[in-house]
Chains A and B, each alone.
Chain A
Amino acid sequence: MPWERRPELDDPVQQALIRAIESGLPLVARPYAQIGEQLRITEEEVIHRIQLLMENDLIKRMGVVVRHGQLGYKANAMVVWDIPDERVVEIGRCFSHFPFITLCYSRPRRLPQWRYNLFTMIHGRGQDEVRARIETLADHCALDEKRFEVLFSRRCFKQRGARYASLRNEPDPLK
């Protein structure tokens, strides 16, 4: 999925809206009205614009965004796989059907340091559960050679939603 410039995002109201919601809706009775006041548009327009963003797949979902690590899902394991290039799409699709897979991406190899081309995030309540799930995946999706590594998380230094609009409008700190 290569990057493409989205001209509709150049609309200043759209940018302001994304900036207003990207770190979360205000937890008040009428959140859309409050955002609208900030942006000087109506509550109705806020709702309509969010609907459009969803229809255009610029918002994937709206709702409660949970921090898994805080909920006892301590074993959040990034499992990286070395899959023959010609099978990576098939295997990626096969893996993604399992409910305990919360992310499944193909990425480039960086040889010689990095040989793995398929990345999955597997949540489990302990390392044993995660390891059992890896076996399930490998068997179910008929991996002939199991070349993978499990990278359990140790410490979280930072976790928050991406900031898109804020970065776009702030002065570039690197210039």
Chain B
Amino acid sequence: MQPHELTSLDQALLNDFQRDFPLEPQPFARMAQSLGVGEDVVIERLRLLQETGLISRVGPVFPPNRLGVSTLAAMAVKAERLEEVAALVSAFPEVNHNYEREHHFNLWFVATAPNPAHLDRVLHQIAELTGLEVLDLPMIDDFHIDLGFRLQWT
């Protein structure tokens, strides 16, 4: 599904329910009520949006370093090794985001573990397996107030 194929119902589902998801027995019925459609329609569209990857999930967003510990890590990888190293990094279940970025440090990933020792082991193992340095850049302060993300359709 491409962004231009989104119906106005999809847009409302994506934009208006990023927070304050109803904590009541039939949350989708509540959403449906405010959208003026049926509960089954809401569930069906959310399934489709999730299957096509436009939404990652309907559920919780956890704050960093509360349920576990996480860090942002960076590596400088030669172009010819990038895919191999990226695949190795992604294969760790502790890694939840892994991006190529335009910079000398071109591979950036977020790793999360239940405790600091576990997280350290993951970073060390990645460094050992690849023979590359891993910059460990844990968060110090979070300044952002997360209100979800306002989408613009124009």
Contacts and interface: CB of A to CB of B under 8 A. Distances in A.
Contact of B68 (A160, A164, A174): A164
A165 B62 CA distance: 12
A97 B94 CA distance: 31
A70 B1 CA distance: 9
B65 interface: yes
A149 B57 CA distance: 32
Interface in A96-139: 96, 99, 101-108, 110, 113-114, 119, 123, 125
Given A59-B61, A61-B148, A66-B54, A162 B68 contact: yes
A53 B60 CA distance: 10
Contacts of B145: 96
B93 interface: yes
Contacts of B127: none
A51 to B, nearest CB: 6
Contact of A164 (B25, B59, B67): B67
Interface string A32-56: 1100000000010001001101000
B150 interface: yes
B96 A163 contact: yes
Nearest to A116: B137
A171 B123 CA distance: 18
Contacts of A63: 17-21, 58, 61, 148
Given A1-B64, A27-B58, A164-B67, A152 B102 contact: yes
Interface residues of A, number: 84
A101 B144 contact: yes
Given A153-B99, A164-B112, A96 B144 contact: yes
B20 to A, nearest CB: 7
B127 to A, nearest CB: 13
Interface in B79-127: 86-87, 89-90, 93-103, 105-106, 108-110, 112-116, 118, 121-122, 125
A173 B93 contact: yes
B144 to A, nearest CB: 4
Interface in B7-30: 13-14, 17-21, 23-29
B23 A51 contact: yes
Given A30-B26, A64-B18, A89 B141 contact: yes
Contacts of A58: 62-63, 66-67
Interface of A: 1-3, 5-6, 9, 18, 21-25, 27-33, 43, 47, 50-51, 53, 57-68, 70-72, 78, 88-89, 92-93, 95-96, 99, 101-108, 110, 113-114, 119, 123, 125, 149, 151-168, 170, 172-174
Please provide the 8 A-B residue pairs with the shortest distance between their CB atoms, ordered closest to farther. A24-B57, A92-B143, A162-B112, A158-B98, A62-B21, A151-B101, A164-B67, A61-B19
